[in-house]
């Protein structure tokens, strides 16, 4: 049998077809690259949930739970506080609060808070507007400055800001002023860690500690009877 000889033009055409096929494949791969990069972008970082035991004279009298969830582009923060001070067989003081906050790009855009402060009830709602945060409560409404910061203990910017603070209970501006005390050791989950101590100077001062990442890890308040009540992070 005679060997088959390819015409030079046929060989060139075949080579060109292979080159074009490779080029087409390469183009498809290059087009796919941006899609691959886009789909592998890291998800937003969600703060860890916080669970505090509220302790008075060595006894746990209540709890404070804060949960963080990402929904779309917003951070949703839910907080529940419940504690009771017992003297003998009587309730000397009781406090409950449920609060929801919605944050977007580091700014508060909505909030709702229901509180029972030993028989005194508060129910507020807030929504961001062009000129600030609109608060409504019991048929009344007022506008907070656009740079105001809610006094939410989990939010580290509360103690570093120079902006006015908003009482998370009644939705009004407060004269509370944060002061940095310094670095200290605190116990978290049975371990000693480094923390920064701040004091919220107000009628009822609060001492608050944050770790190096800005996570709220402890709080101390003096009660009406001058007993010390502490928030201890599990």
**Is it the case that residue 148 has pLDDT exceeding 70?**
yes
Number of neighbours of residue 201 by Cβ within 10 angstroms: 12
Interval 32-39 mean pLDDT: 38
pLDDT confidence of residue 179: 96
Which tens digit of pLDDT belongs to each residue from 200-233? 999 889 999 999 999 999 999 987 778 899 999 9
pLDDT band for position 23 (cuts 50, 70, 90): very low
Distance between CA atoms of 172 and 34, rounded to whole angstroms?
A: 48
pLDDT band for position 44 (cuts 50, 70, 90): low
**Is it the case that residue 1 has pLDDT exceeding 60?**
no
Please tell me the least confidently modeled range out of 22-36, 136-150, 165-179.
Answer: 22-36
Please tell me the least confidently modeled range out of 13-22, 42-51, 70-79.
Answer: 13-22
Backbone angles phi, psi at 7, to 5 degrees: -65, 140
pTM of structure:
0.78
- Please, are residues 204 and 221 in contact by the beta-carbon 8 Å criterion? yes
The secondary structure of the chain as a DSSP string is: -PPP---HHHHHHHHHHHHHHHHHHHHHHHHHHHHHHHHTPPPPP-PPPEEEEEEETTEEEEEEEEEEEEETTEEEEEEEEEEEEEETTEEEEEEEEEEEEEEETTEEEEEEEEEEETTEEEEEEEEEETTEEEEEETTEEEEE-TT-EE--TT-THHHH--SPEE-TTT--EE--EEEEEEEEEEEETTEEEEEEEEEEESSS-EEEEEETTS-EEEEEEE-TTS-EEEEEE-
Structural domain boundaries of the chain? 1-41, 50-233
Which tens digit of pLDDT belongs to each residue from 84-105? 998 888 898 999 999 999 999 9
**Is it the case that residue 16 has pLDDT exceeding 80?**
no
Q: What Å distances lie between residue 59 and 16, 70, 84, 148, CA to CA?
A: 84, 35, 11, 36
pLDDT band for position 34 (cuts 50, 70, 90): very low
Which tens digit of pLDDT belongs to each residue from 177-202? 999 999 999 999 889 999 999 999 99
Q: What Å distances lie between residue 207 and 18, 112, 166, 180, CA to CA?
A: 74, 25, 18, 10
Interval 149-170 mean pLDDT: 94
Burial of residue 74 (CB within 10 Å: 0-12, 13-18, 19+) is middle
Interval 129-139 mean pLDDT: 95
């Amino acid at each position: 049998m005679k060997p088959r000889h390819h015409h030079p033009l046929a060989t060139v055409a075949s080579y060109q077809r292979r080159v074009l096929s490779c080029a087409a494949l390469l183009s498809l791969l290059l087009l796919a690259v941006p899609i691959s990069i886009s789909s592998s972008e890291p998800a937003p970082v969600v703060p860890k949930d916080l669970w505090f035991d509220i302790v008075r004279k060595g006894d746990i009298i209540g709890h404070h739970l804060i949960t963080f969830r990402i929904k779309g582009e917003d951070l949703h923060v839910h907080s529940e506080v419940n504690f009771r001070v017992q003297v003998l067989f009587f309730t000397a003081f009781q406090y409950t609060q449920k609060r929801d906050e919605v944050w977007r790009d580091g700014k508060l855009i909505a909030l709702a808070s229901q509180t029972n402060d030993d028989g005194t009830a508060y129910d507020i709602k807030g929504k961001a507007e062009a000129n600030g945060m609109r608060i409504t409560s019991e048929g009344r409404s007022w506008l907070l400055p656009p740079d105001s910061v809610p006094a939410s203990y989990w939010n580290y910017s509360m103690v570093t800001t120079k902006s006015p603070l908003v009482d998370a209970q009644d939705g009004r501006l407060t004269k509370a002023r944060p002061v940095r005390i310094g670095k200290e050791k605190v116990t978290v989950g049975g371990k000693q860690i480094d923390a920064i101590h701040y004091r919220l100077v107000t009628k009822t001062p609060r001492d608050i500690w944050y770790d190096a990442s800005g996570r709220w890890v402890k709080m101390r308040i003096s009660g009406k009877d001058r007993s010390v009540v502490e928030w201890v992070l599990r």
